[in-house]
Amino acid sequence: MFYYKVAVIGSVLEPLTYHFSSELSLGSEVVVLLQNKEKKGVVVEHTTQPTFKTLSIINTTQFFYTQQQRKLASFISSYCFCSVAEAFGLM
């Protein structure tokens, strides 16, 4: 089992921890459940197994954010005082 921090696109929340059965690359666009609704998100970090129960990533899409796009989202979030997920929503 692999664990990831996922920025749910357009959300004000900080990245949330999800798990998936196979390894994913940073920047992969995925589909996750948030409040019982399917939402798109971006894998922003690999992480270790947390002490709490995590939800599974439903599936992956063909879309991928490059390292430059991820850096831009990080810059936007710090400059505009918004979450990384909101910054990804602008792209």
- CA distance linking residue 56 with residue 69, whole number of Å: 25
First to last CA, the chain: 30
- Is pLDDT of 10 > 90? no
Note the pTM of the prediction, 2 decimals. 0.90
What pLDDT digit, counting tens, does each position of 59-83 carry? 999 999 999 999 999 999 989 889 9
State the sign of the Cα–Cα–Cα–Cα dihedral 76, 77, 79, 82.
positive
Residue 7 corresponds to which tokens in the numbers above? 């920025």
